[in-house]
Amino acid sequence: MGQSVREYLLTLCITAAVTYLLTGPVRKFAIVVGAMPEIRARDVHREPTPRLGGIAMFGGLCAGLLVAAHLTNLKGVFELSNEPRALLSGAGLIWLLGVLDDKWGVDALIKLGGQMIAAGVMVLQGLTILWLPVPGVGPVSLTPWQGTLLTVALVVITINAVNFVDGLDGLASGMVCIAAAAFFMYAYRIWYGYGLEAAAPATLFAAILMGMCLGFLPHNIHPARIFMGDSGSMLIGLVLAAGAISITGQVDPDAMRLFTGSVTATVHATVPVYIPLLLPLTVIAVPFADLVLAIVRRTWRGQSPFAADRGHLHHRLLEIGHSHSRAVLIMYFWSALIAFGAVAYSVNSVSMWFVLSIVGLSAVGLVLLLLPRFTPRVPHWAEGFVPPRYRRRRNRIAAAAREVAPEASCDAAAEPVGRVPAGVNGATAIGDRSRFTQQGATPGGGWEKKIRSSR
């Protein structure tokens, strides 16, 4: 087991390193080819940012699979299963579709068709749902058509859920990394805890997915230097769906032999994890909820479900007063709570400590949601060890304002003390973009720019 853990860690590190090293050149390439779309009204960033980050992530995926195929323990996954090749085929198609969309734009219905084709290619190569564990019944075998339709539906739902949540710097890559970590823990337990080799591909997919997200995240955290674009968001969504399909629809729950009794009892014992991973509602619960709410909201307004708007969960967090970084961290928190909570529930679903921990952490999350304007501060002696946003900068901002524009000091004093001028960050970042294109479009525009540069 120790040797396999080291091989997984090596695969993860190689994937992360290749993704990280490729992202810089990909950013320059995106700027050269003009893959920097203009800022839209629903965007949160304030200046054009290159896309095509999915090119680097796809390179990391290929590197991870290549390294794993030559390792002592992991190469058996490629010898006994065709699922890694199926994943690479589907990922290549969805990645190419995303690159075209990032550069020239692709119609929503065409993207939907491409997602279905990519899922169909994986099904043709064996990555499909063969049966479902149903509580009270046991494993239910599916016909080829039923398995194909369910697999395609799961892939499309997961891809679009991840794509919808990709609205803030570092949000999609961080949430999917959290989901992949929880998924890896579960899949690794199924493989080595119960000796089921059918769980090996899903474990490998989760490790590679973590590497892809970790390698890209340093370039994508706020303020982002590059976006993953549809070429990245659809790619990581497909990899996540492939792992869920592999372990949910191809691992026989009766082979776990948790009980010596009936198959029905075995299925009932594994339902807490198997059913959530079916759609997979635990590892991408927040993106899936955002997807459902967006479809209902747009349909209710008489719009297309694929019409873009500013009603996503991350937009609402900004509107109620959370900063960009705080909104991302809050969504990280809820994703980790749901994903790791499901994994813990699969290990011990009757522990009182587990229930109390989930309740306590949920209360903490609710408090964070209700205190959008609370910003912790540190003592003066510790300001050099924390990011600038946690330092006591009130006097420094006021002094810079008086130095640059003494006549504007009255206007500056009229604003709440310690608040950032309008149009800098927070909820104002999703408003009209015209004030960023013309200097002095708002009162005090010139000295506001100098204040920001002095921070």
Percentage of residues of the chain with pLDDT beyond 90: 28
CB 214 within 8 A of CB 17: no
CA distances in angstroms from 367 to 330, 339, 363, 364, 372, listed in the order given: 11, 20, 6, 5, 9
Residue 247's pLDDT is 82
Mean pLDDT, all residues of the chain: 75
Residue 269's pLDDT is 58
Binding region: 163, 230
Q: Into how many domains does the chain fold?
A: 1
With bands split at pLDDT 50, 70 and 90, how would you rate the model's confidence at 374? low
Instruction: Give domain status of residue 329, yes or no.
Output: no
Instruction: Give domain status of residue 432, yes or no.
Output: no
Instruction: Give domain status of residue 165, yes or no.
Output: yes
Instruction: Give domain status of residue 399, yes or no.
Output: no
Checking if the pLDDT of 323 tops 80, the result is no
Checking if the pLDDT of 442 tops 50, the result is no
Binding region for Mg(2+): 163, 230
Single-letter amino acid code for the residue at 369: L
Instruction: Give domain status of residue 398, yes or no.
Output: no
Percentage of residues of the chain with pLDDT beyond 70: 61
- In angstroms, the CA 194 to CA 266 distance is 13
With bands split at pLDDT 50, 70 and 90, how would you rate the model's confidence at 148? very high
Instruction: Give domain status of residue 378, yes or no.
Output: no
Tell me the pLDDT tens digit for each residue of 229-287.
899 999 999 999 998 888 876 676 666 655 445 555 555 555 544 544 444 555 566 66
Residue 30's pLDDT is 92
Tell me the pLDDT tens digit for each residue of 42-54.
555 567 788 899 9
Tell me the pLDDT tens digit for each residue of 152-179.
998 998 898 888 777 778 888 998 998 8
Instruction: Give domain status of residue 320, yes or no.
Output: no
- In angstroms, the CA 445 to CA 198 distance is 61
**Segments forming the whole domain that contains residue 163:** 1-260
Checking if the pLDDT of 447 tops 60, the result is no
Burial class (CB in 10 A: 0-12, 13-18, 19+), 310: middle
Stronger pLDDT, 86 or 406, i.e. the higher one: 86
**Per-residue buried b or exposed e for 186-207, using 16+ beta carbons within 10 Å of the residue's own CB:** bbbbbbeeeebebbbbbbbbbb
- In angstroms, the CA 330 to CA 322 distance is 9
Q: Which of 210, 246, 279 is nearest to 86 (CA)?
A: 246
Q: 253-262, 344-353, 361-370 — which is least confidently predicted?
A: 253-262
Instruction: Give domain status of residue 202, yes or no.
Output: yes
